[in-house]
Amino acid sequence: MTLNELNPKNRRAADILIANDRGGYTVPSAKLYPFQWNWDSALVALGFSIFDPDRAWQEVESLLSAQWDNGMVPHIIFWKVEKSYFPGPDQWGTADIAHNPPTSGITQPPVAATVIQRLLAEDVDDIDATRDRAAKLLPKLDRWHQWFLDARDPDGLGIVAIMHPWESGRDNLPDWDRPLSFIDTTGVGTYHRRDTDIVNEDERPKNNDYDHYMALVKFGRDCNWDTATISRDCPFWVAEPGMNAILRRAERDLIAMAKLLGMDDIATRAASRLARLDTGFEKLWSDDVGGYVTLDLRRDEYATGLTSGSWLALFAGHVEPKRAGKMATTLSHWLTQVDRGVPSFDPNHELFDSIRYWRGPVWAMVNWMIATGLIEHGETDLAERIRADTEALIEQSDYREYFCPVTGRGGGGSDFSWTASMSLYWASRPTGDVINSPVLTPTTPEQEAK
């Protein structure tokens, strides 16, 4: 499909991606986030794939080009100097590690493999060229996924930890409140936040939260982002279902691509990692809460609420029917408590905040992942409700970073790339149109063994 063939709504979404294109990479939002963000960038490629497949491939290629020597793909890539953003390269202190360009010192959920799998399945204009591009990226994905187990699960628990809330991609979840409370912030010093110069304060993390975020940045910088020191000594060491679910899905998609392309060594390594991750993920199930929840690994404490990341267990792979049914029932109840779903935190919980960053708002790209998992577990009606809610929120409040589930008000950045991308790729299209890629993606352990 070409730009001229898009309907007016989709053309508006495409124009946002084009406006945020910086020549091979896309910024999430021109004023608020002026660099390349890891999972934003990968998800943006899905939107480009609708009208410019070559540009979609460029997006993931530029992202993976910034991979560190140890395999990590950083969460921010500072391709150019931009003094308006904080924390910038000086605060991260990675110049000797990341080389050029400078980057942050942490990663984000590895959704790139899932995106590349879809690009590979859908780009049929030149199959040989598409497979060649994918084949060049698979070794990078393999190294990144291995980094997660080496650096964030060195004890072999089968669940990867995050050392900073930002690493989860869901920066300000109430799940982080208690683990962060144990962090000493006395050495942080003074700084000027830029985000609240652009966005209303009631939509962003509070200053106390930011002090703790910056204390963790200082910790990483002081140890030169050494993974052994981080895993041993970082005061924030937390496993949460969203990151782990996305990694499990990524391994499944990597296995499928590697088998298709005859890269059997990568498929074998990914399958070994996946077996460990599938087993470990069950440690995050809480009978008390009735779902997959965050686990503070330093104190062996479970979070008391479900988040939108809890439902990504269905996106990760096969969930046994009894649990999947319970999760669908709970999610349906959530949707009776709000006007539009899916809220990022339990709307019945005392810490729910409908408009503050990740403490309640709806995010289009998380909705897509949740709906994908629901369809793959037979919950098509619930998936369609989530798609329709996402489309309605965008129609009401335009392409904002996120949305209030109670009023539909948009929050955060405007003309937001991944919201535009999700609209193009999924929310404005009939359920089942592109939500599954059955040619490449097995969904059960039995299918993966074949």
Residue 445 has pLDDT above 70, yes or no: no
Domain residue limits at 331: 3-449
Mean pLDDT of 367-390: 95
Q: pLDDT tens across 5-18, in order?
A: 899 999 999 999 99
Q: What is the pLDDT of residue 195?
A: 82
Q: What is the pLDDT of residue 125?
A: 66
The answer to whether residue 171 is catalytic is: yes
Q: Quote the CA–CA distance of 60 and 147 in Å, as a whole number.
A: 18
Q: Cβ atoms within 10 A of the Cβ of 116, count?
A: 27
% of residues, the chain, pLDDT over 70: 95
Q: pLDDT tens across 108-138, in order?
A: 999 999 999 999 988 666 788 899 999 999 9
Residue of 15, 54, 61, 171 marked active site: 171
Per the structure, the count of domains in the chain is: 1
Residue 192 has pLDDT above 90, yes or no: no
For 36, the enclosing helix (H) or strand (E) is strand 36-37
Radius of gyration of the chain (CA): 20
Q: What is the pLDDT of residue 433?
A: 52
Q: What is the pLDDT of residue 1?
A: 81
Q: Quote the CA–CA distance of 118 and 366 in Å, as a whole number.
A: 17
Mean pLDDT of 230-247: 98
Q: Quote the CA–CA distance of 332 and 448 in Å, as a whole number.
A: 30
Question: How distant, in Å, are the alpha carbons of 75, 148, 239 from that of 395?
Answer: 30, 38, 35
Q: Cβ atoms within 10 A of the Cβ of 64, count?
A: 21
Q: What are phi and psi of 165, to 5 degrees?
A: -55, -35
Q: What is the pLDDT of residue 431?
A: 57
Q: How confident is the model at residue 438 (pLDDT cuts 50, 70, 90)?
A: very low
More confident residue, 78 or 98: 78
DSSP SS3 for 430: coil
Cα–Cα nearest to 412, from 397, 425, 422, 428 = 397
Amino acid at 357: Y
Mean pLDDT of 347-375: 96
**Nearest-10 Cα torsion for 255, 259, 260, 265:** 100
Q: Cβ atoms within 10 A of the Cβ of 90, count?
A: 10
The answer to whether residue 401 is catalytic is: yes
Q: pLDDT tens across 147-168, in order?
A: 999 999 999 999 999 999 999 9
CATH code of the domain in which 22 resides: 1.50.10.10
CA 372 to chain centre: 14
Q: Is 167 exposed, middle or buried (0-12, 13-18, 19+ CB in 10 A)?
A: buried
Decide if 366 contacts 342 (C-beta within 8 A).
yes
Question: How distant, in Å, are the alpha carbons of 66, 79, 323 from that of 140?
Answer: 10, 20, 34
pTM, entire model: 0.94
Q: pLDDT tens across 311-346, in order?
A: 999 999 999 999 999 999 999 999 999 999 999 999
Mean pLDDT of 369-384: 94
More confident residue, 202 or 215: 215
Q: What is the pLDDT of residue 442?
A: 41
Q: Quote the CA–CA distance of 249 and 314 in Å, as a whole number.
A: 10
Mean pLDDT of 364-390: 95
**Nearest-10 Cα torsion for 187, 191, 194, 195:** 30
> 403: which strand partners?
362, 410
What does the DSSP 8-state code read for residue 345? B
Residue 98 has pLDDT above 60, yes or no: yes
Mean pLDDT of 288-316: 96
Mean pLDDT of 266-288: 97
Q: Quote the CA–CA distance of 45 and 147 in Å, as a whole number.
A: 23
Write down the mean pLDDT value for the chain.
92
Decide if 362 contacts 393 (C-beta within 8 A).
yes
Q: What angle do CA 419, 132, 270 make, to 5 degrees?
A: 75
Residue of 21, 401, 415, 448 marked active site: 401
